[in-house]
Chain A
Amino acid sequence: MSDNKIERHLYDVVVIGAGGAGLRAAIEARLAGKRTAIISKSLFGKAHTVMAEGGAAAAMGNANSRDNWMVHFRDTMRGGKFLNNFRMAELHAKEAPERIWELETYGALFDRTKDGKISQRNFGGHEYPRLAHVGDRTGLELIRTLQQKIVSLQQEDFAATGSYDSRIRVFQETTITELMLDGDRVAGAFGYYRETGEFLLFEAPAVVLATGGVGRSYKVTSNSWEYTGDGHALALRAGATLINMEFLQFHPTGMVWPPSVKGILVTESVRGDGGVLRNSDNKRFMFDYVPDVFRKQYAETEEEADRWYADPDNNRRPPELLPRDEVARAINSEVKAGRGSPAGGVFLDVSTRLPAEQIIRRLPSMHHQFKELADVDITKEPMEVGPTCHYVMGGVEVDPDTGAAFGRVQGLFAAGEVSGGMHGSNRLGGNSLSDLLVFGKRAGEHASAYVDTLQVRPRPAKVDVAAAVEVALAPLVRAAASSTGSSADSSTGSSADSSTGSSADSSAAPSADSSAGSSTASSAASSAGSLIAENPYTLQQDLQAVMGDLVGIIRREGELTDALKRLHELRARVANVGATGGRRYNPGWHLALDLRNMLVVSECTARAALEREESRGGHTREDFPAMNPTWRRINLVCSLSFGEVHLEHKPVPAMRAELLALFERSELSKYLTDEELAEVEEQ
């Protein structure tokens, strides 16, 4: 048996990613009768969705009957500074309530109102209380509910066929490194089991990307190790396009102390439930940072703001609840002005605002998190918080109705954070969980429908599989070569050449079975190997430094140019990354393979950030501090050809007249060009 045997699987739909969007897509594909595989980089149920705290935004009108999809749509467009794909925002606002109610039929238990309906809470940027929630662990409830729904479908399949896995199967701890194409059609996906390092090939005519975001390219981030932009990079390499990559959301309130938890999120519900931001002068500074476009909706005095919690109909909301980009920038300016907290953040105080018993009931996991991680009792003292890289608005450019990727590839779908357009330049809190459900369902549904239209099953080419094997093994081969000296080095070079296009077996490649032996020698090998092959952990830190320092919250032309230069240098080093220790559950090897995804996605972000000469939402240019209506009409689209990132301008789809009519002219005038406004008036 060859060391590089490849396990083959046939499926109709392969869903890459087992977070909210992936699981919802898989459920839909299975309900449409398609044989479905779910690929999860972690264990099933550990996806980053569990970190979502606040809730899922859906205009159910349970807490305020005046809420409806049109209000939600308006809030979403405002939050995204009108750069959103209007159709996605519309579908999202219309379908979110159904998707939430559906979860209850899967067994979800949301917090309730007095009359027994789903309770809804206030959140930044939402006009009415709109977030369905479970304390502050809504993401966990969502992922567990979807996970249990999949189990229940597997139980049905077991009853019908005698096998739990006959129609829907979860491949845990499995990473996809490459999509397989047949011409322009998706033919499958290639990857490896993390546990054994063995390879798998999924042959499938439709692939749904639901891989989440890119935060691991940043030093301070709330994201887990999985967020390496895999889906973004897979899509690019398969010929799809990315949009809005310059827009990253820095969540205003991440923990800043202690260092080990730097970046971990403090939910916005702390502010929604009464928490206020203060600087070192004990001043509630957010009143100084209300931008003109939001002036009408936000309170001007502390008294009015405090009345709002009890009487939201007759008072304007506190400025702590401005959209996230505004709050993050405000905190950034306060710290820069020397009014920060000891650890370099600001104070978020809920202890003087609510009785301890209420804090514990309404923010249980925050109370728990600070107590356990920072030894801070939030019912007695304020928290120290600062901005943290949280979410990427940009992603795969998709058809709003079907989730099908644009570009030249067919059969590729994307949903959730990995897709772009829905949130424009800035996402509102709570819109992510509902986005997962709405577009996860749509992607699953349309991927299934696409499979039905095919006459012939696309087939992965053997040369592509062989190439994927070679790329996956390269870091191990390099480390082995550099640790055994120059003679081995030259022999691997020749074997790499000869194996292209012919065979998946490379004699120089370490086998899965040899891992136990090589792990004993690992420390020796790593010290010798570091002389030639690059250490993946060092490379990741260097990449994080470039992105965090030069492509962070506030951006400047010079720094962005510098960042691109450094990313270029990093690319050469990543091409030389090595990993010792064999193929069995080897985190160094896994990181080495993820690095190239992080790098190409980072380059897209830096390129687009340099190109967009304005400040809007999650993109702030110090040299172009204002929003520019002309730029609002432009999406920056990234594509990959021959390994190089290309950037194009593409017009933002124009909103339909009846949707434009939902806004007052005075509001539109803040976003649209004069020319566009003239057209609006004609209609």
Chain B
Amino acid sequence: MKRHFRVWRGDASGGDLRDFDVEVNEGEVVLDIIHRLQATQAPDLACRWNCKAGKCGSCSMEINGKPRLGCMTRMSTFTDDETITVTPIRTFPVIRDLVTDVSFNYEKARETPAFAPPPGVAPGEYRMQQVDVERSQEFRKCIECFLCQNTCHVIRDHDENKPAFSGPRYFIRAAELDMHPLDDRSDRKEYAQASQGLGYCNITKCCTEVCPEHIKITDNAIIPMKERVVDRRYDPIVWLGRKIFRRDQLESADGAVPTVNPPMSSARLPEGPPVGPDGHMEIAELSAPTQGGLSPFGEDLSFPLPPEYVSYHHPERPSEA
């Protein structure tokens, strides 16, 4: 059966919806149709995908305006005469067609402090109870499709909030580490509040709605993180403590705050990525281990070359060759 599709095609400079009539068979999903378009009508239609089973989170797109995984959207969920409109996820800059530049997420991932292994516990000696790991395991189900990031109205159409806001994906990362039974850091919630922009979130639950893994992002991660931040900030005894003690005493008295400043991003000057506007490094020598540009002759060659290495033939004195 032929179905009508409208697919956004273009790149950073602009684009528009193109109309396609394409064969659809029983049991297929939207990603199958995209693949059929590639094979038959538009071989260069750009679209990310990997597993086709909702496990890798690559084929994020907006289908009839809803953020979805292409591989998990069955064609049978549309009525027979419905036109299906497929557009790239809107929060991130388009590279081409359905492919967007999601590097924002990888930058935020790099800023989130990593798991801190408990000191003095040897590998193989980690002991945790199932009930305790299950809370974090829910968040580790995340397949990083970034649909939650895409739908979050704090950054959707608000690029200006992007520097200060990590987004739901990284709130659940912070929550996961906060709830990790053996993580050695105890300032995850404070970090989320101070450096990830948790305060921007006003709990509209859009992220939870679009999560293909059905992670309860708002209820199980964001709200508990907010509550506990509030607990600590407005606890009357803590408040009194803040009034009575000096900051350095406070930090040692309140075991929760580490005495050494953790390497969190807010503590540093903001740093531009070492890339050009196209997302790539402008000049390779920036990352090279040696000073100056890379020698086109290789890094271990010095000049002048010994005469036997030179393949130069003097035009007037051929005997010297």
Contacts and interface: CB of A to CB of B under 8 A. Distances in A.
Contacts of A373: 29, 53-54, 71-72, 74
Nearest to A37: B287
Nearest to B281: A7
A499 interface: no
Interface string A241-282: 000000000000000011111001100000000000000000
Interface in A497-530: 515-516, 519, 522-523, 526
Contacts of A165: 274, 287
A682 to B, nearest CB: 40
Contacts of B214: 368
Given A42-B58, A116-B128, A369-B54, A140 B141 contact: yes
B136 interface: yes
Interface in A168-205: 169, 172, 193, 195-196, 198, 203
B289 interface: yes
A454 to B, nearest CB: 10
A565 to B, nearest CB: 25
Contacts of B117: 105-107
Nearest to A584: B96
Nearest to A44: B106
Interface string B69-95: 001101010000000000000000001
A48 B27 CA distance: 24
Interface stretch (A156-164, A481-489, A621-629): A156-164
A260 B28 contact: yes
A107 B123 contact: no
Interface in B236-285: 263, 271, 274, 278-281, 284
B159 to A, nearest CB: 20
Interface string B1-20: 00000000111010000000
Contacts of A158: 110, 263
Contacts of A459: 298, 300
B294 A97 contact: no
A259 B58 contact: no
A525 to B, nearest CB: 9
Interface in B159-199: 177, 180, 183
B110 A104 contact: no
A107 B50 contact: no
Interface string B111-151: 00111010000011011111001001100111110000000
A45 B144 contact: yes
B230 interface: no
Contacts of B96: 515, 519, 584-586
A7 B11 CA distance: 23
A121 to B, nearest CB: 13
A101 B127 CA distance: 11
Interface residues of B, number: 85
Contacts of A172: 106
Given A116-B127, A588-B43, A169 B287 contact: yes
B210 interface: no
A179 B123 CA distance: 37
Given A51-B56, A259-B27, A373-B29, A144 B140 contact: yes
A368 B69 CA distance: 14
Contact of B130 (A104, A111, A152, A198): A111
Contacts of B123: 98, 101-102, 104-105
B42 interface: yes
Contacts of A162: 271
Contacts of A368: 54, 213-214
Interface stretch (A421-429, A439-447, A574-582, A664-672): A574-582
A516 B129 contact: no
Contacts of A48: 50-51
A51 B51 contact: yes
B299 interface: yes
B31 to A, nearest CB: 8
A267 to B, nearest CB: 11
B45 interface: yes
Given A44-B106, A46-B50, A535-B43, A10 B38 contact: no
Given A516-B11, A537-B38, A111 B32 contact: no
Contact of B280 (A45, A198, A519, A538): A198
A633 B98 CA distance: 51
B57 interface: yes
A172 B107 CA distance: 13
B142 to A, nearest CB: 8
A530 B278 CA distance: 32
A587 B289 contact: no
A137 B38 contact: no
Contact of B298 (A117, A224, A457): A457
Contacts of A119: 130
Interface string B200-236: 0000000000000110000000000000000000000
A60 B124 CA distance: 9
B51 A580 contact: no
A27 B38 CA distance: 37
A117 B280 contact: no
A582 B28 contact: no
Interface residues of A, number: 97
Contacts of B137: 109, 134-135
Given A154-B110, A162-B271, A224-B56, A9 B28 contact: no
B71 to A, nearest CB: 8
A137 B43 contact: no
Interface string A103-139: 0111101111001110100000000000000110100
Contact of A151 (B41, B45, B52, B114): B114
A112 B144 contact: no
Contacts of B39: 535, 537-538, 541
A623 to B, nearest CB: 35
B152 interface: no
B48 interface: yes
Most chain-A CB neighbours within 10 Å: which of B32, B46, B55, B71?
A: B55
A112 B55 contact: no
A259 B99 contact: no
Most chain-B CB neighbours within 10 Å: which of A111, A261, A538, A582?
A: A261
A155 B142 CA distance: 22
A457 B281 CA distance: 24
A435 interface: no
A134 B137 CA distance: 8
A366 B300 CA distance: 55
A221 B127 CA distance: 38
A516 B13 contact: yes
A375 B75 CA distance: 12
Contacts of A51: 51, 53, 55-56
A519 B140 contact: no
Interface string A296-322: 000000000000000000000000000
A46 B145 CA distance: 10
B288 interface: yes
Q: 8 tightest A-B contacts by CB?
A: A258-B27, A581-B44, A107-B115, A152-B114, A116-B127, A588-B43, A101-B123, A537-B39
5 contacts: A46-B57, A195-B99, A195-B279, A580-B44, A585-B46
Interface of B: 9-11, 13, 25-29, 31-32, 38-58, 71-72, 74, 76, 95-97, 99, 101-102, 106, 109-110, 113-115, 117, 123-124, 126-130, 133, 136-137, 140-144, 177, 180, 183, 213-214, 263, 271, 274, 278-281, 284, 287-290, 294, 298-300
Given A195-B95, A260-B28, 4 more contacts: A10-B290, A10-B294, A154-B110, A368-B54
Interface of A: 7-10, 35, 42-46, 48, 50-51, 60, 97-98, 101-102, 104-107, 109-112, 115-117, 119, 134-135, 137, 140-141, 144, 148-149, 151-152, 154-155, 158-159, 162-166, 169, 172, 193, 195-196, 198, 203, 224-226, 257-261, 264-265, 365, 368-369, 372-375, 456-457, 459, 515-516, 519, 522-523, 526, 535-538, 541, 579-582, 584-589
